[in-house]
A and B are shown apart, each in its own frame.
Chain A
Amino acid sequence: MILKGQKRKLDPEDGEAADMSSPTWESQRQFVFSVSLNKYQRGQELPEPSLRRSVLIANTLRQIALEKHGESPPPPDSALMSGEPATPPTNRGQSEDEDWGSVESDFSLSAAISSILTALDSTIDGGPQAAPRTPLRSVENLPESAGDAAKPGYVNDVSMEDLFQEVDASLLGRVGYPAEEELICYLPPFSSASSNFREAFELEHLMEILVES
């Protein structure tokens, strides 16, 4: 079996837990990231993307983003990047939603990607520790994990399909904008991460958006 474009003597996946800082690990992560992005984009171009496949690829992307963020040095203009929350951890409640809502209109790409990943997130059965997610404003009829009983089933399906259509694949590869950084910035937190990490991640999001606006 020939590996396209790359011959590896090492098997980077053996003992990966031990050696996450090696260049092989980094190059593999890059490789998996670009392959995943490719697959995801091509999948969305199909008239009927496979839900299982899209979810698995999106979660792999998120996994990579999570690990990358765990390692990357903090940007200089953000005091909150140290990994510890400057403010006490809050639940993802109404106030954060409103923060998102106020800058959302300026960042249709981020909203689209986040909403896709949130939509996929709410589609699949989250882990036992998954906190219930408040849907983003742009996606009003996403079901919550409990209690959205009255809606006819098809509305949920249609809204998720709409979300699939929303992402213009060409936006993801904008010239002059490193796609990977962009995607990592806008990925919502991994649902089973520890709450400290998750809070830091969320605060980081807000900082990025506010700094740019």
Chain B
Amino acid sequence: MAGPGGDMQWCFSQVKGAIDDDVAEADIISTVEFNHTGELLATGDKGGRVVIFQQEVENKNLPQFRSEYNVYSTFQSHEPEFDYLKSLEIEEKINKIRWLPQKNAAQFLLSTNDKTIKLWKISERDKRPEGYNLKEEDGRYRDPNTITALRVPVLIPMDLMVEASPRRVFSNAHTYHINSISVNSDYETYLSADDLRINLWNLEITDRSFSILKHNLRNFIYEDPSGHSWSPSSSLPVFEEPENPSNRSFFSEIISSISDVKFSHNGRYMMTRDYLSVKIWDLSMENRPVETYQVHEYLRSKLCSLYENDCIFDKFECCWNGNDSVVMTGSYNNFFRMFERGQRRDATLEASRENSKPLQVLKPRKVCTGGKRKKDEISVDSLDFNKKILHTAWHPQDNIIAVATTNNLYIFQDKVN
């Protein structure tokens, strides 16, 4: 991305989280999501907490405009639970957060762990009532016999307080681990999915959902809790690319397993992330992707050991920028990749504490795949496979990105912005 004449240059903006190299398990970031305006940025962690950052909108007319995200609200979304029937503990790790479109002053988001989805209301309070008749200021009740005159309580300003309260709890609908949720723009329904089934929920109704078994998707059978089922007359399109026989190996199936899917903002395209690549599909063309980007092709010769150490099962996410011209995804060694679709340009950047000076421009990184390693390049065998960037998010309008390393959240922005 670095280059003269209007290209994107990414600068460090902020980093959130502990500086410690010793990572506390509960602090491991498990999901990152901007809200629809980009003003709020939510993260979920392994300890079941949600932290919401809010963008402080400084004067946008100033040069070197910097938007800073500061903590807006922190709350414990999920607690560990014990399933007595199966005798196992249900992790409190937040797998996904999805914001609802904003309808009034309050914000709503859905957060989910492996088994339970919760609808949270986040509301601001900057006034409090004072002057009750029956209560003292400290809360003690007054003896009604002592009251001689009535007054109307008044609202007086107070320091801003942000409260999160659970409004709905949706549980007992998934046997396997919930891996994603998706909100309908009608603000009434949403989907939750595990490896086997997709459930369709109404936000108002917590005791039942419509269930679609994924392996039935070809014939598309719906089932509701009463056992009634039906299927539409047409079946779903299937996006599938024929396999390249020269690339076939024992691991072909594993590496073609899709770890994330994202629709483009304009609704025309869909991006899929598999282990080694990002593919962009035109929704009107099912037989092959329109674009394929190699994320870390140098890993192809290492698949055997990546299988052995389980890295091959890592589920990387991907995201689009606001106008669908650039896509981003994470890799190992705290590297992340960006692909500029029209320009056919790509970059490898790194999220690290060493490059964390304010407004420091990120230098492109390069992995050396063989032969003589140039200065500043890193060889494949030196990559740290414990430092993986699985979760990334792009501000819906601006060139601001949030990149999660194991326990830190990095915020980068485009220098020109």
- List residues of A whose CB falls within 8 A of some B CB: 1, 3-4, 11-14, 16-17, 28-29, 31-32, 35, 39, 47-48, 50-53, 55-56, 59-60, 63-64, 122-125, 128, 143, 145-147, 149-154, 156-158, 160-161
Asked if A28 and B304 make an inter-chain contact with CB atoms under 8 angstroms apart, the answer reads yes
B233 CB to closest chain A CB (Å) equals 14
B261 CB to closest chain A CB (Å) equals 14
Give A123 to B216 CA distance when docked, in angstroms. Answer: 9
Given the known A-B contacts A16-B249, A152-B225, are A31 and B304 also in contact in the complex, defined by CB atoms under 8 Å? yes
Asked if A14 and B301 make an inter-chain contact with CB atoms under 8 angstroms apart, the answer reads yes
A45 CB to closest chain B CB (Å) equals 12
Extra A-B contacts (12), CB below 8 Å, given A51-B194, A143-B213: A1-B302, A3-B305, A32-B304, A48-B176, A56-B253, A60-B251, A60-B253, A63-B253, A123-B196, A125-B214, A152-B227, A160-B196
Give A149 to B245 CA distance when docked, in angstroms. Answer: 37
Given the known A-B contacts A1-B302, A35-B307, are A145 and B218 also in contact in the complex, defined by CB atoms under 8 Å? yes
B168 CB to closest chain A CB (Å) equals 21
A37 CB to closest chain B CB (Å) equals 13
Whether B1 is near chain A, meaning CB under 8 Å from some CB there, is no
Find A143's partner among B215, B303, B304, B383 (CB 8 Å cutoff).
B215
Inter-chain contacts of A48 with B (CB < 8 A):
86, 88, 176-177
- List residues of B whose CB falls within 8 A of some A CB: 86-88, 175-177, 194-197, 211, 213-219, 221, 223, 225, 227, 229-231, 238, 240, 245-246, 248-254, 257, 300-305, 307-308, 310, 313, 380-381, 383, 385
Asked if A3 and B196 make an inter-chain contact with CB atoms under 8 angstroms apart, the answer reads no
Inter-chain contacts of A156 with B (CB < 8 A):
196, 213
Give A63 to B254 CA distance when docked, in angstroms. Answer: 11
Asked if A60 and B254 make an inter-chain contact with CB atoms under 8 angstroms apart, the answer reads yes
Find A17's partner among B211, B246, B313 (CB 8 Å cutoff).
B246
Give A123 to B176 CA distance when docked, in angstroms. Answer: 12
Inter-chain contacts of B385 with A (CB < 8 A):
1
Inter-chain contacts of B176 with A (CB < 8 A):
48, 50-51, 157
Q: Which residue of B lies closest to A48 (CB)?
A: B88
Inter-chain contacts of A32 with B (CB < 8 A):
250, 304, 307
Give A141 to B116 CA distance when docked, in angstroms. Answer: 27
Find A53's partner among B215, B313, B383 (CB 8 Å cutoff).
B313
Given the known A-B contacts A50-B195, A51-B176, are A149 and B257 also in contact in the complex, defined by CB atoms under 8 Å? no
10 A-B contact pairs sorted by A residue (CB < 8 Å): A1-B305, A16-B249, A17-B248, A47-B86, A52-B313, A59-B253, A60-B254, A122-B215, A143-B216, A146-B216
Give A32 to B312 CA distance when docked, in angstroms. Answer: 13
Give A161 to B85 CA distance when docked, in angstroms. Answer: 13
Give A145 to B305 CA distance when docked, in angstroms. Answer: 35
Q: Which residue of A lies closest to B221 (CB)?
A: A149
Find A154's partner among B175, B217, B249, B301 (CB 8 Å cutoff).
B175
Given the known A-B contacts A47-B88, A56-B313, are A13 and B304 also in contact in the complex, defined by CB atoms under 8 Å? yes
Give A150 to B222 CA distance when docked, in angstroms. Answer: 10
Asked if A64 and B250 make an inter-chain contact with CB atoms under 8 angstroms apart, the answer reads yes
Asked if B215 and A3 make an inter-chain contact with CB atoms under 8 angstroms apart, the answer reads no
Give A151 to B221 CA distance when docked, in angstroms. Answer: 11
Inter-chain contacts of B305 with A (CB < 8 A):
1, 3-4
Q: Which residue of A lies closest to B308 (CB)?
A: A35
Asked if B219 and A29 make an inter-chain contact with CB atoms under 8 angstroms apart, the answer reads no
B37 CB to closest chain A CB (Å) equals 34
Give A85 to B246 CA distance when docked, in angstroms. Answer: 29
Inter-chain contacts of A12 with B (CB < 8 A):
304
Give A84 to B230 CA distance when docked, in angstroms. Answer: 42
Give A147 to B219 CA distance when docked, in angstroms. Answer: 8
Inter-chain contacts of B219 with A (CB < 8 A):
145-147
Give A53 to B257 CA distance when docked, in angstroms. Answer: 10
Asked if B215 and A125 make an inter-chain contact with CB atoms under 8 angstroms apart, the answer reads yes
Inter-chain contacts of A145 with B (CB < 8 A):
215-216, 218-219
Given the known A-B contacts A143-B213, A149-B221, are A157 and B195 also in contact in the complex, defined by CB atoms under 8 Å? no
Top 5 A-B pairs ranked by shortest CB distance? A51-B195, A157-B175, A47-B88, A149-B229, A11-B301
Inter-chain contacts of B213 with A (CB < 8 A):
143, 153, 156
